[in-house]
A and B are shown apart, each in its own frame.
Chain A
Amino acid sequence: MFMDKSMKPKIGDIFVYVFIVILVGLSFLGLKTMSVDKGNIRVQIELDGQVIDSLEVWQDGEIEAQEIRVDTGEGGYNIVKISSEGVVVLDANCPDRLCVSSPTIKVPGQSIVCIPHKFVVRIIGESQGDNAVDDTAS
């Protein structure tokens, strides 16, 4: 047993090697998904601090316009329109309708908030260019 001259790998060794290869492969995959593509922008919809939807949109590319209706509970709703021009709240049945009169947002860091519905739609991504900011005081 111990004097196996051929040094042929045992079946257990092969398992170990295969395992290593899989691990290495997986770690590369993990690296890839963890790195954020620059210029990659997401529109994130939140309800009471929880992310309920996250849509990938591309900074320079045209995107197909879409409307998303978000039910905020107790009969409340906000309708978001996402297009190449940016993101806007088209309609909502909140009492103050401040979200509907909010201007279109299009750069990372901007958001539209509906306080009565605890609803937020925000643009996430790395802010770029001379006018890039980490946050805005308002």
Chain B
Amino acid sequence: MRNINRISRIFTLFSILILILSFMTGCISDTEGQHDKSFFAMDTVMNFRVFGDRSAKKAMNKAVDKIKEIEKHMSSTYKDSDIVKINKAAGIEPVKVHDDTFYVIKKALEYGQLSDGALDITIRPIVELWGITSDNPKVPSKEEIDERLPLVDYRKVVLDQDNKTVFLEEKGMGIDLGAIAKGYAADEAVRILREAGVENALLNLGGNVITIGGNPDGRPWRIGIQDPRSQETGQPHFAIVGVANATVVSSGDYERYIQEIYEKTGERYHHIFDPKTGYPADKGLMASTIISSSSIDADALSTILFIMGYEEGFKLIEKLDNVEAIAVTLDKEVYTTEGLKGSLIQSNDHYRIMD
């Protein structure tokens, strides 16, 4: 009898232990699943979704800190950023910059060369003249534009690899990393997460999507491509693409433009300038998208494609390895590079996917 009693007690204790354990695992699996974070940085909103245990969450926070550091170095508005210092010293002296700033500028100049100046980070004097993203945008006169155009030339940016300095040759020049810094930030975030062993993540940096692995349920991530005329069609995206370990970056005339003029005349003076003309790029596209493994490349190339147009842009992109592209013309025709043919899922019928 004494034994039975003891057994029943031991049994009871065991049951409690198991129950408590199951509660605890309930809590752990809660932190083990999905970690979401939304924050503002680099003049946009970013959403991170990372899967994994506590170390994944820690890595996510580390990635956020890294992005804020990149912002501090590469912002065009932060008082002590490398970019502000470089621009202030234009025509005067070289400026020593952080390693990451140096890397991004070097990369941007490489893309300037590759695209024969379609991507040009020295576009800043033109950006400032139009002020599309400022509170008082305006259409400048032809004279004003012609006066500033000679200042736009990426070949007048002098890099010193040994001393990590950047020099703009002429007074009045200025650089802007807006077309490429977010891409770099995305790559850095992915590097930090991967180093911590994260196998599934979905990051969105102001519209630039980058993924690690696929969806934890085993499917690829399903990424919608923004409908560039969603205001008219009422649709969020025109196509869907399945990706894993890839980045999807879009550019277009729909992001920022002078609202007042558009409402009056229907003309879109948007924020992506053609460095050759000083006017908003006008090569027949309303949107461009790049899918690749590196986000800095995708960021640069989506801008390049938009500025060069479908034919010239695709010629360039088809020469690159592991880079796919989508171009939407002003007639709402959708063109894709060879590698994407047949894998784009059309999600609304206002657009025509061409063979």
Complex contacts, B209 vs chain A, CB 8 Å? 135-137
Chain A residues 83-138 with CB under 8 Å of chain B are 95-98, 101, 103-105, 107, 109-111, 113, 115, 118, 120, 130-138
Given the contacts A20-B15, A46-B38, A120-B45, A136 and B23 also touching, CB distance less than 8 Å: no
Whether a CB of chain B sits under 8 angstroms from the CB of A54 is no
Quick check: B207 and A3 within 8 Å, CB to CB? no
Quick check: B43 and A115 within 8 Å, CB to CB? yes
- Chain A 42-58: CB-based contact to B (< 8 A → 1; otherwise 0): 00001011000000000
Whether a CB of chain B sits under 8 angstroms from the CB of A13 is yes
Partner of A103, one of B15, B19, B26, B234: B234
Chain A: CB-nearest residue to B346: A131
Bound CA span A107–B215, Å: 19
Complex contacts, B202 vs chain A, CB 8 Å? 134-135
Q: How many residues belonging to B are interface residues under a CB distance threshold of 8 Å?
A: 51
Chain B residues 255-297 with CB under 8 Å of chain A are 255-256, 259, 289
Given the contacts A2-B2, A49-B40, A30 and B230 also touching, CB distance less than 8 Å: no
Quick check: B19 and A23 within 8 Å, CB to CB? yes
Quick check: B225 and A4 within 8 Å, CB to CB? no
Complex contacts, A2 vs chain B, CB 8 Å? 1-2
Whether a CB of chain B sits under 8 angstroms from the CB of A63 is no
- Chain B 37-49: CB-based contact to A (< 8 A → 1; otherwise 0): 1111001110100
Bound CA span A98–B43, Å: 13
Complex contacts, A49 vs chain B, CB 8 Å? 37-40
Complex contacts, B45 vs chain A, CB 8 Å? 111, 113, 115, 120
Segment of B101-109, B216-224, B327-335 in the binding face: B216-224
Whether a CB of chain A sits under 8 angstroms from the CB of B322 is no
Whether a CB of chain B sits under 8 angstroms from the CB of A16 is yes
Bound CA span A79–B92, Å: 48
Bound CA span A67–B205, Å: 29
Bound CA span A46–B45, Å: 11
Quick check: A133 and B19 within 8 Å, CB to CB? no
Interface centre among A24, A48, A105, A135 (most CB of B within 10 A): A135
Whether a CB of chain A sits under 8 angstroms from the CB of B16 is yes
Quick check: B259 and A101 within 8 Å, CB to CB? yes
Quick check: A133 and B5 within 8 Å, CB to CB? no
Complex contacts, B355 vs chain A, CB 8 Å? none
Complex contacts, B2 vs chain A, CB 8 Å? 2-3
Quick check: B240 and A135 within 8 Å, CB to CB? no
Quick check: B1 and A136 within 8 Å, CB to CB? no
Closest beta carbon of chain A to B27's beta carbon, Å: 10
Chain B residues 38-89 with CB under 8 Å of chain A are 38-40, 43-45, 47
Closest beta carbon of chain A to B270's beta carbon, Å: 13
Complex contacts, B12 vs chain A, CB 8 Å? 13, 16-17, 20
Whether a CB of chain A sits under 8 angstroms from the CB of B143 is no
Complex contacts, A103 vs chain B, CB 8 Å? 230-231, 234
Chain B: CB-nearest residue to A16: B12
Quick check: A27 and B22 within 8 Å, CB to CB? yes
Whether a CB of chain B sits under 8 angstroms from the CB of A11 is no
Bound CA span A17–B5, Å: 14
Given the contacts A4-B5, A103-B230, A115-B40, A138 and B255 also touching, CB distance less than 8 Å: yes
Quick check: A135 and B223 within 8 Å, CB to CB? yes
Complex contacts, B221 vs chain A, CB 8 Å? 134-135
Partner of B208, one of A13, A98, A111, A137: A137
Chain B residues 301-355 with CB under 8 Å of chain A are 347-348
Bound CA span A5–B248, Å: 75
Bound CA span A48–B4, Å: 61
Interface centre among A19, A107, A136 (most CB of B within 10 A): A136
Known contacts A110-B236, A115-B44; 6 further A-B pairs (Cβ under 8 A) = A3-B1, A4-B1, A113-B44, A137-B208, A137-B225, A138-B250
Interface residues of B, Cβ cutoff 8 Å to A: 1-2, 4-5, 9, 12, 15-16, 19-20, 22-23, 26, 30, 37-40, 43-45, 47, 133, 135, 202, 204, 207-209, 215, 221-226, 230-231, 234, 236-237, 240, 248-250, 255-256, 259, 289, 347-348
* Interchain Cβ contacts under 8 Å between A and B, 18 examples: A4-B1, A4-B5, A7-B4, A17-B12, A20-B19, A27-B23, A30-B26, A95-B135, A96-B133, A107-B236, A118-B40, A131-B240, A133-B237, A134-B221, A136-B207, A136-B223, A137-B209, A138-B255
